[in-house]
Structure 1
């Protein structure tokens, strides 16, 4: 682990950087698995709690696990594609919700408080929406790198887990565009109501994404370039935070469809970029299950949530803490004086 902030100097570097990433510690994971099998319970009886403990061991590099600091980062941005009528709410809502986060009045504030996470909200040039992806790129490379590195710099290298979320009117359209660009398929299969689009609104979203994909078709297979052309500031910042956490060997809990679609730009470059990530919940936004299948991810929770803000990931932190409590606190069969262990 290092205190030196990670900085990306060119999007093309993501293609080779994956070779030098910190790796999962198989020895620590095996020690954690052996402990799980010695605890006073039938092996495997705690289900995914056991898997989460082993996952944490592999990234923390120790059999005995801790979450002394959970850091929650919510990135907020505005999107030029809103000019296409894809959003039922005005873009002013993004700044208004950021103010609500800062005042402690949003769902994410309550969930972070309840589950022991330190929340930081980072507004990314809200007064200047990105470019309209139907007529040009959302961001040029320099702008994308700027917010990528802001996301990376926000990660506390001493955190034990990082929770990622977002806020941005119009960003469900951006998420569907990124998912369709990276994984293909029919655009309509990736598009959902977001904050409440009706049938006409859904049609506008689909049409806008189809025009954007056609305009940027030359970027097919180049996920970093697709992140800049089709993404947004909060999407790039999420990718930066994911990569900085990996450099510091910090496990990450991703939130719902929009957050996962942002991180998918890293997966599209090299699947190993997301090896230290788990998805906190499966969103009710219809494209999320399809995206999780493409990423090979099983969500921690399925609570029919679609709020964003990092809310599902913050809720999943409570499950992660429970997994570690059982792993660290349970007695072994020998310690408990129970026969059969």
Structure 2
């Protein structure tokens, strides 16, 4: 049920009973980000975005969001109708980053072990040996995630939150960087399992691709349908890696050192409280949502070459980061009030200072 697209070999089998097999993370400097580091992150981000744009026509803002989520150390949920480039975006992101990638096609008969891996009885020794699943990669495409059962969906929870997998009492670390790009079709509901709110909350951002502009669609059709035919595989294989996994992992850690003033953190907390108290909102932003918003704002600031977060960085990313976490009240839905309207009202009501 799993299909890996990366040419790289699987990670080596872990010892039979490791206690805590993950190596200690490298110590992060306590100093704030230097101007040189900020510029380096911005240059890398723009190079990756430009490379993705060579195969994703007319959707630069979606490519920017994907890179922002990666730098923030989060995961991305893409909900849209078929054929709009959701899968292509995940493949292009991995190609431009130079990372390993794997794809899991979620189906009703997919099992948790197909995602995480499991212990296999070795015929020679009679001992159990762990065989890693498709989750042991760097960019994981969880295609049509809502088509698998809740039990299988939950196999990703620990991986997304803690960057590790626990099987038979042993813990195995995931490679760095690690990002889940999940796709879902919001139109066809037959044969699907609704994504639990606990798992939706683990996605740092949610977006949709949308239909391209007519000119961009014409270029895409000409590139993929003209002679000689160039399908998705050929287009992705032609991408140039603009960075490497080690550099990206270091930049993800560096983004955490961008300065977020106490007053800005308080601003985010007030925004979260305002969503919980909003009369048109049945379920507001969680504490995890506040953490994710600050991380996303730091990544957005880094992509602009800044060493600190400003309120406009928070305001520019609050939509994709909080939109999928808010639930309008039934009466609000009947009046056509959605999460975006609630967020616009909250931003207007909560002062920056």
TM-score normalised by the chain length of structure 1: 0.30
Structure with the largest fraction of helix: 1
Structure with the bigger percentage of strand: 2
